[in-house]
Copies of this chain bind each other. A is one copy, B any other.
């Protein structure tokens, strides 16, 4: 890779790091991506409401008009091109395609673009602070490497355009919002962007491999062990009462939540594989001398396959209903839906392996392995595979200073250059000249 491109990629990463945006608010990021792609020569770029099916966004997380306006104004204030911001219609996400005009497979790449809610420290010795790209948006930080993913996507776009004469088939770049929240992948799938894809590639930097950090110069060609992930917010709604007065009039939502939590953690295991459940939060009651009339319980459960996830869901709902009944309280559930399991295809993993071999930086190429975690890329993988295409999720090693999701997470930026090259090499392997 030429040095100038390498510097631009790192520059992109730092720019996005400086202006991190939470899920469904990535307006500046999206506008900047579109602006850069346009300059590179991409045409017919889809942004915001054209890049995704806005109906597919979970109602409980959808921004209202006022909130959208706030974000659009902020994006412009932070340097986004007003034209592109307007085009977003208040929704993030970008889809760009380069059609070589020559017969060949359709290849799609997915890059996630959102950041996390946490406070990035203003601390000497911490590179983003020392080198001036620390977050300008309070309580928002790119602690999951999506700034790097976005930069790889833009680097890849430039390489495509630089080599456009040598390529075949169609190449689609999906800059997806809201990986850390919900509906990001779903909304692009719902718009149909995965229906005609022959090969789908998604990636992450700084993951682990078989319970060890995957460091610089390493790559895992594919992950097949995604746990499904469901999340529910349960609102128990009882009736407050004075505990020393007419306590018989109370309907104790706090005790309903406690009964539920104990029973949820006691759900029997499933013989087919891993089932993990957690009641992560309970917030119940409004005063020490009031029988608690309400309680919020937040829980998630993950399963190694669909049978397990279905079993878990049935048991979870039984327990919530039973526990509510036990205290005579009502309940409602906000269901954030399921991030499904997925499997990487063997053929695609081999392509990633070959593409990595051509990049000097990669010294350690690991085959299929446990890269850990949950990623809604699985929604796209499943759609591609249902339609007959191949899909893979691979991991790019990077030395890291802190674990993922830590507010001081930083990584070896060389990984971005190697990752960009790897992505580009894939094109030649699938559609060779």
Contacts and interface: CB of A to CB of B under 8 A. Distances in A.
A262 B266 contact: yes
A288 B283 contact: no
B248 A269 contact: yes
Given A263-B255, A322-B322, A327-B263, A280 B288 contact: yes
A344 interface: no
Contacts of A328: 315, 318
A323 interface: yes
Interface string A150-182: 000000000000000000000000000000000
A282 to B, nearest CB: 5
A16 B288 CA distance: 27
A292 interface: yes
Contact of A255 (B211, B261, B289): B261
How many copies altogether?
4
A258 B248 contact: no
Interface string A323-340: 111111000000000000
A286 B255 CA distance: 20
Given A326-B259, A326-B323, A328-B315, A284 B282 contact: yes
Contacts of A263: 255, 259, 262, 326-327
Contact of A325 (B211, B287, B321): B321
A255 to B, nearest CB: 6
Interface in A27-70: none
A254 interface: yes
A281 B292 contact: yes
A277 interface: yes
Given A247-B276, A319-B326, 16 more contacts: A211-B271, A227-B244, A243-B280, A243-B302, A245-B271, A247-B278, A248-B270, A255-B261, A255-B279, A258-B262, A279-B292, A280-B285, A281-B286, A281-B287, A282-B295, A283-B283
